[in-house]
């Protein structure tokens, strides 16, 4: 059985929880308090961060690596595209999400007011740029829910929490976000602390 060490408010951990629930398989989630990390986290992950996935003698960290492993190990429903070209494109998108969006999340969580304002602006601008995609399609890659939707969902859920207000042109993106939030796996993935992030 897979065990996920998961931060109760960590957006990266939530990604992994979403994938586990989408797959509907047997797994165990161990909630980790991010402000009081147990010592064995540093033993399993040299970066001393969650999420960490343990299955028998395999230990994985970094949410995108964990999620691709789960997707390959339990192919139904498939979350990464089957076609190598589309899969490479999806990986490039995931890389860009990390570089352009999620790199700002750690700044917001660090709590430096001046840097946080800049981070909010960068996230807002990047999200406004992708909003038009959702005028024509339901999800990031078209009509099918995929790993890209998994990757961005925790950030969209936390927009209020991070005090990021979205302008009018972002309306299609916000409608897309509601589609993600209404999925059963997303609802099941949330911890009480995450539920409390939105009014």
CA distance 12 to 76: 22
Catalytic residue flag (residue 16)? no
**C-alpha distances in Å from residue 53, one per residue of 7, 38, 126, 198:** 12, 15, 30, 27
Query: What ranges make up the beta strands (E) of the chain?
Result: 2-7, 27-32, 52-55, 58-61
Cα–Cα distance, 53 to 51 (Å, whole number): 7
d(CA 171, CA 64): 27
- Active-site residue identified among 10, 52, 53, 105: 10
How far apart are the C-alpha atoms of 129 and 194, rounded to whole Å?
26
Query: What distances in angstroms separate CA 68 from CA 48, 104, 111, one per listed residue?
Result: 21, 23, 31
- Rounded to whole angstroms, the Cα distance separating 2 from 83 reads 27
Catalytic residues: 10
């Amino acid at each position: 059985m897979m065990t996920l060490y998961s931060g109760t408010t960590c957006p990266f951990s939530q990604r992994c929880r979403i994938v586990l629930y989408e797959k509907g398989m047997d797994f165990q989630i161990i909630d980790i308090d991010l402000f009081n990390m147990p010592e064995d986290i540093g033993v399993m992950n040299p970066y001393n961060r969650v999420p960490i996935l343990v299955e028998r003698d395999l230990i994985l960290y970094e949410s995108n690596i964990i999620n691709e492993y789960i997707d390959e190990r339990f192919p139904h429903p498939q979350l990464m595209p089957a076609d190598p070209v589309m899969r490479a494109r999806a990986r490039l998108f995931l890389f860009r999400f990390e570089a352009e969006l999620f790199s700002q999340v750690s700044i917001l969580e660090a709590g430096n007011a001046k840097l946080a304002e800049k981070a909010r602006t960068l996230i807002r601008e990047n999200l406004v740029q992708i909003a038009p995609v959702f005028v024509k399609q339901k999800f990031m890659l078209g009509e099918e829910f995929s790993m890209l939707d998994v990757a961005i969902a925790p950030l969209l859920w936390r927009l209020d929490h991070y005090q990021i207000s979205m302008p009018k042109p972002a309306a299609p993106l916000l409608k897309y976000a509601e589609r993600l939030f209404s999925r059963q796996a997303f609802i099941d993935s949330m911890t009480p602390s995450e539920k409390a992030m939105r009014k």
